[in-house]
Chain A
């Protein structure tokens, strides 16, 4: 289904949500550590992307907040389609990586 390649920052956001629900700020921190500092999300990009992903129905907002966190934070989690899209992209990347490795091997 994911014929288009996923923009890196979208991929990282999905990745950050892969092991559980998070709020926006936590996603930003997670993305930064997952990419070892390479991808830093700025506010409008992050929240714009979250709205975008939500409209694609790849993520959804949690109806109520977990008790221990403060009231106003909004939590997101992956939907089934979102997880599939992430999977597809991971597959694609893996294929690409395999291809590159073979080609480089040939060249050597």
Chain B
């Protein structure tokens, strides 16, 4: 056992270990033996105490050793700083080119880091602009039995929570939506939210004008009231302070304006107006939807709040939800809204940090080359009575000046780059995120400047003042090949740059490849020449489902007549739109499910023309046709009694999930999840449409004929012979002719929608690629610079060799080989490292192998090839050295 203690002795200072090692071991053995009676715990205690004892001795020895150093600092430190600064500045100006190069490289590295850190800061670190934001929590419900993480809020449940909770100051439920806003001069579609009364209380915001909703207004059939956002108030109503009490029409119904909210209340997204929920907890079978936010009482933790909410939910479990299907949960608010960005930001953050390392290695190489050339100066100053500490301090000040200039330039460039980036992809960042300069960004910039000084400063400074400087003074020419250690460090730096570049290049190429793969994923339909637009009907002017159905039928019919349009169709929920309507079904004779859970099925209501308009591929049977639609809107009774026989089309995932791989779907039947549902015949199977995005897995899906449940807002799809967006005016015109109060919402081509759905991935893949390319350019530049410098240093030596009979080819080969060895080692290490790093990218690679042979070989070929070129030019120059002239150089 004491063998281990002997091994542990390395923790102790060496002198102690050598002097007393055996005795210490004996004492430890005695302690261990004494503890044996106490069992394993006591023995563990002895080991722990012994380790602490050894470490303590080591720490004490450091403290003790540092003391004498102070004795040597005998110069008048404070007075010297000024002259140090002046001298450093002059030294930097003397080599203006190299200094500018250094500043440029540092600025580049720091700019990239500032950019990415500002993103991190805006998304993750900066708290929400509400009072005491850490007490805000996100609330929703999950149904593990149904495979759902986010079910939504059920109003009666919510009322139980507000009554039963003890640890919240207030709770609020809100649900985003959009409204047709009409006020005399036409209709617009605005984003709004339905909120419960406590919404402003929870967020801690006060109306800038008027008041918040009263209790009466939040009751069923209460007075219809609306609160405007500052933006809507300014844009639409000219900031009129007499607006309170005026009425506007929302979805056809009159609402009285009671207040105006400050901009930060538009949470979580561009909300323009709020209306009260006015829910009735007594009404049974309310749907689940939206989200809730709570403000915890001071000092309450999220875990406590979670338990409190679950306790408040007990009456729901006791009465309505006896199966315990739906469980509420509490999460930190901020975490909920940044989840999507976490992976991307981590990868990009890692990449810029590596880029900074490469930039620093390059700067170190430049400065090291300079430092080696300055050894003579250092030697003379040392001989004149300066101390090494003094010389080091001066070099440190030079580095600090460089880093400070680089940092300031980098900060400015980083801010510009960030602004450009946000302009480039405006829709990808949440509205509440602000990316301005704050104390954290400043602190980060300062920190990265200091880090760069440490990273690039050590090697040059060390080599400049270490070793035998007296001989450096004696060396009368700079053509001699002094300081082999310095040259080794230079090569080592270049090798490290290539290693880091290899990691970055491999990862970014993998991501670009993954992006390409995602972009070329088959969406399951024909995405070109497709125009998509939502059309919301005002339920005020058209209250009945029959009216909606008639409208959709008419719209589809007339849209087909628009010149340039081939086919038109209507759907309740278009792909890539972010919408989802889930339901449960009972398929006939399903295969047993391994987890025993009934998967959620995406339910869509489609017109007969939709499938042709979208170009969805038929796999089996037939599409829905006019015969399925012709019966008109079916009531629940008609459906349940089977009076209106329904036909549905399912997707391939549905067949695979419920009836197994390779099974046929046509001829089988499904029914709703209730006891009274009739069987519904499956008449066709279609290819999976990537509804949730190209990278997301598709759920089982079912298309119902529109008559089952026509909605008041549906999406129209037009297949065009011409550029799809060129049809928009004609469609808007058509709509206006049918009803001037109905707006056309977000008309755009399907290709635009798909591009938008992959924009975040595109942005982050290309950012990484740009950083990798920068690192690569820096590394190649570094290799070239170092090779050139080394050849210059060796001019005399090469001259002698040539004079002694070395052939041109020999010289060339020796120069290139000495440069390439470090690069090759770096590339090998980098490729090995990249495989490890790439595994961290995980699902972002969508199945692209981390050791993709193509990528790895391209990267190694490119790196070694460019290194060959970078070393080749200096080598060629070396090979042409005229021995006579070189020997005479600076003789």
Contact = CB atoms under 8 A, between A and B. Distances in A.
Contacts of B60: 48
A25 B24 CA distance: 8
A65 interface: no
B7 to A, nearest CB: 14
B23 A44 contact: no
B53 A42 contact: yes
Given A24-B27, A28-B27, A51-B16, A44 B22 contact: no
Given A25-B30, A48-B16, A48-B60, A42 B23 contact: no
A45 interface: yes
Interface in B542-569: none
B19 A43 contact: no
A44 B31 contact: no
B16 A47 contact: yes
Contacts of A40: 31
A108 interface: no
A41 B30 CA distance: 12
Contacts of A51: 15-16, 19-20
A83 interface: no
A47 B22 contact: no
A15 to B, nearest CB: 18
A23, A25, A47, A73: residue with the most chain B Cβ atoms closer than 10 Å: A47
B49 A42 contact: yes
A18 interface: no
Contact of A44 (B12, B26, B30): B12
A103 interface: no
Nearest to A40: B31
B873 interface: no
Interface string B27-59: 110110000000000000000011001101100
Contacts of B23: 23-25, 43, 47, 73-74
Interface string B2-24: 00000000001101100110111
Contacts of A28: 27, 30
Contacts of A23: 23
A43 B22 contact: no
A45 B53 contact: yes
A47 B20 CA distance: 7
A23, A25, A48, A51: residue with the most chain B Cβ atoms closer than 10 Å: A48
Nearest to A42: B53
B50 A47 contact: no
Interface residues on B, range: 20 to 34
B288 to A, nearest CB: 63
Contacts of A42: 27-28, 31, 49-50, 53
Nearest to B24: A43
B16 to A, nearest CB: 6
A54 B95 CA distance: 56
Contacts of A25: 23, 26-27, 30
Nearest to B52: A42
B56 A46 contact: no
Nearest to A50: B20
Given A24-B23, A25-B30, A44 B16 contact: yes
B20 A45 contact: no
Interface in A66-95: 72-74
B53 A47 contact: no
A72 B20 CA distance: 11
A40, A44, A50, A72: residue with the most chain B Cβ atoms closer than 10 Å: A44
Interface residues of A, number: 19
Please report whether the interface of chain B is mostly helix, strand, loop or mixed according to DSSP: helix
Interface string B449-472: 000000000000000000000000
Given A43-B50, A46-B27, A48-B16, A72 B56 contact: no
Contacts of B25: 43
Contacts of B22: 72
B56 A47 contact: no
Nearest to A72: B22
Given A48-B16, A51-B19, A43 B56 contact: no
A4 to B, nearest CB: 15
A45 B16 contact: no
Nearest to A29: B30
Contacts of B28: 42-43
Contacts of B53: 42-45
Contacts of B27: 24-25, 28, 41-43, 46
A44 B24 contact: yes
A51 B57 CA distance: 12
Nearest to A23: B23
A73 B25 CA distance: 13
Nearest to A45: B53
Contacts of A41: 27
Nearest to B54: A44
B65 to A, nearest CB: 13
Nearest to B5: A43
Contacts of B12: 44
Given A24-B20, A51-B19, A45 B57 contact: yes
B57 A44 contact: yes
A20 to B, nearest CB: 19
A32 B50 CA distance: 16
B13, B23, B30, B60: residue with the most chain A Cβ atoms closer than 10 Å: B23
B19 A45 contact: no
A9 B49 CA distance: 16
B63 to A, nearest CB: 12
B56 A45 contact: yes
A104 B707 CA distance: 97
Contacts of A29: 30
Interface in B693-751: none
A46 B30 CA distance: 14
Contacts of A24: 20, 23, 27
A25 B15 CA distance: 19
A42 B8 CA distance: 14
A48 B63 CA distance: 14
B643 to A, nearest CB: 90
A40 to B, nearest CB: 8
Interface in A10-43: 23-25, 28-29, 40-43
A23 B22 CA distance: 13
Contacts of B56: 44-45
B22, B25, B53: residue with the most chain A Cβ atoms closer than 10 Å: B53
Contacts of B30: 25, 28-29
A44 B15 CA distance: 11
A48 B26 contact: no
A29 B23 CA distance: 13
Nearest to B64: A52
Contacts of A44: 12, 16, 24, 53-54, 56-57
Contacts of B50: 42-43
Nearest to A48: B57
A44 B22 CA distance: 12
B356 to A, nearest CB: 40
A3 to B, nearest CB: 18
Interface in B51-90: 53-54, 56-57, 60
Contacts of B54: 43-44
Nearest to A41: B27
A101 to B, nearest CB: 35
25 contacts: A23-B23, A24-B20, A25-B23, A28-B27, A28-B30, A40-B31, A42-B27, A42-B50, A43-B23, A43-B25, A43-B50, A43-B54, A44-B16, A44-B54, A44-B56, A45-B53, A45-B57, A46-B27, A47-B16, A47-B19, A47-B24, A48-B16, A51-B16, A51-B19, A51-B20
Interface of A: 23-25, 28-29, 40-48, 50-51, 72-74
Given A47-B24, A48-B16, 14 more contacts: A28-B27, A28-B30, A29-B30, A42-B31, A42-B50, A42-B53, A43-B23, A43-B28, A43-B54, A44-B56, A45-B53, A45-B56, A48-B13, A51-B16
What are the 7 A-B residue pairs with the smallest beta carbon separation, nearest first? A43-B24, A42-B53, A44-B57, A47-B20, A44-B53, A43-B27, A24-B23
